[in-house]
Amino acid sequence: MKTSSFLTLATVSVIFLVLLSCDVDAKKKDKNLKVTVADDVSPPAPAKKTKKAAAAKEAPAPPAKSVPSKHKDDDNSIDDVDEDRIDEILRDASKNLVIFLYDGKVPCPTCTEALSEVEEIDDDIEATGYVQVVKTNDRSVARELGINVFPSLVYYRRNNPILYDGDFKDSENLLRWLRAHEEVATWDLTDDTFESRTDSHSPDEGSIDWFVMFYDADEGNSNAFVPLWETVAHKLRGLVNVGKIEISVNDDVTERFHIEERECPVFLLFHRGKMYRYKESAKDVRSLTNFALHKYKEQRGHRVPEPPTAIEQVYEFAKEKIMDVMDDNQTLSVLGVGGLIVIVAVTLIIKAYRIRAENKNKVA
């Protein structure tokens, strides 16, 4: 009985050990399977970082350029120039010049978009053979042209600049504007041509009005209005004649209308023998155009001063010639002053002699 129980217990123990061994083997196989699957789906080990890669990751991104050209490496891209190069091109009388002005100091997304539109028509513009297109961020050029808003575009025709007053959203519209403004619309007036051209004092019935800018070419702020004034001239074309006169070389007209140098630029509208002075602080294309068309009627006009007579013109001409000669020759200047003193002295002596003679006759 005891032997039978012992055999039974031994048999159960063997069976238990076999089952335990099978379970352990199954777990090992399952573990190996899991490891294999994990190895199959696990991401690749990260690459070892180099010093250069780390530095590149930590370095800040470079700032965006103000006006990147889409043709950066193309020979047909628009030349970026400075003031000296612009002056050099303008000295060539056979060339017209289109200048695209952008802001190079701060990022300017609108400048980039506008440049893209200009580059679309660059080849069409220069295909004429007499128009060159350049771009610049030279602030001295912008100041000389009175520009403080970017982007801007100026078109020089025979050294006569005109300021583009539209947007840059459509390159075809821009091309049409350039082609429509190749002709200069502003009249250059002088002492000799002012009255014969404008007939400001006594215009004929139904004659077209004149809008004239008096400016000083030697004064930067005044001279900067020239491109804007040409834009006004094109806006008023066929409705009002637009002229400009440089006061430093046209003394007669300047004196006639009492133009002060410190007040320039001065804008006068001549309508039916009367003149109206533009007095608003805003000096933009729209304000000046509206004044010439109808706003001038809101103020009282003044009679236009009479032009100098023929005798006065001869006198002024002779005086100017004498003064020019005296300025050019110091010796002659001294002789001229001395001659005048002698003439005055002789005149006074003769007059004194006559008075003395008359007094003697009265006494006798």
CATH number of the domain residue 138 falls in:
3.40.30.10
Q: Average pLDDT over the chain, rounded to whole? A: 80
In a domain, 138, yes or no: yes
Asked whether residue 217 falls in the same domain as residue 170, the answer is no
236-267 burial by CB neighbour count: b if 16+ within 10 A, else e? beeebbbbbbbbeebebbbebbebeeeebbbb
Asked whether residue 143 falls in the same domain as residue 230, the answer is no
- Check residue 10 and give its pLDDT: 46
What span, in angstroms and rounded, lies between the C-alpha atoms of 273 and 251? 21
Last residue of a domain, one of 159, 181, 203: 181
Using CA atoms of 191, 192, 197, 202 in order, give the dihedral in degrees to the nearest 10: 80
Asked whether residue 228 falls in the same domain as residue 165, the answer is no
Asked whether residue 318 falls in the same domain as residue 220, the answer is no
Asked whether residue 297 falls in the same domain as residue 329, the answer is no
DSSP-assigned states of every residue in 218-263: TSHHHHTTHHHHHHHHHHTTTTSEEEEEEGGG-HHHHHHTT--GGG
- Check residue 104 and give its pLDDT: 86
Using CA atoms of 201, 203, 209, 211 in order, give the dihedral in degrees to the nearest 10: -30
Residue 30, burial from CB neighbour count under 10 angstroms (0-12, 13-18, 19+): exposed
Asked whether residue 168 falls in the same domain as residue 252, the answer is no
149: closest CA among 228, 88, 89?
228
Residue showing tokens 């403080």: 148
Asked whether residue 264 falls in the same domain as residue 320, the answer is no
171-208 burial by CB neighbour count: b if 16+ within 10 A, else e? beebbebbeebeebbbbebebeebbebbbbeebeeeee
Report which residue type is found at 329: N
Cis peptide before 151 (omega within 30 of 0): yes
What span, in angstroms and rounded, lies between the C-alpha atoms of 342 and 344? 5
In a domain, 10, yes or no: no
State the pTM of this model.
Answer: 0.68
Q: Are strands 241-246 and 210-215 parallel, antiparallel or unpaired?
A: parallel
For 191, 310, 335, the CA distances from 251, given in Å and listed in that order, are: 7, 16, 26
Residue stretches of the chain with pLDDT short of 70? 1-76, 310-340, 344, 358-364
In a domain, 263, yes or no: yes
What one-character DSSP code corresponds to residue 168?
S
The CB-side HSE value for 272 (13 A sphere, CA atoms) comes to 6
Asked whether residue 263 falls in the same domain as residue 335, the answer is no
In a domain, 36, yes or no: no
In a domain, 226, yes or no: yes
Asked whether residue 302 falls in the same domain as residue 315, the answer is no
Angle between helical axes of 310-328 and 330-363 (0-180°, round to 10): 120
In a domain, 90, yes or no: yes
Segments forming the whole domain that contains residue 107 = 79-181
What one-character DSSP code corresponds to residue 209?
P
Asked whether residue 115 falls in the same domain as residue 165, the answer is yes
Task: Give, rounded to a whole angstrom, the gap between the first and last alpha carbons of the chain.
Answer: 202
Q: What is the pLDDT of residues 197-254, one digit of tens each?
A: 999 999 998 899 999 999 999 998 899 999 999 999 999 999 999 999 999 999 999 9
- Check residue 267 and give its pLDDT: 98
Asked whether residue 304 falls in the same domain as residue 339, the answer is no
Residue pair 302/312 in contact by the 8 Å Cβ criterion: no
In a domain, 318, yes or no: yes
Last residue of a domain, one of 181, 198, 229: 181
Last residue of a domain, one of 181, 214, 239: 181
- Check residue 341 and give its pLDDT: 72
Asked whether residue 227 falls in the same domain as residue 291, the answer is yes
Residue pair 232/244 in contact by the 8 Å Cβ criterion: no
In a domain, 17, yes or no: no
- Check residue 70 and give its pLDDT: 42
For 168, 216, 222, 265, the CA distances from 262, given in Å and listed in that order, are: 36, 9, 9, 9
Domain count, the chain: 3
Residue showing tokens 């002699």: 353
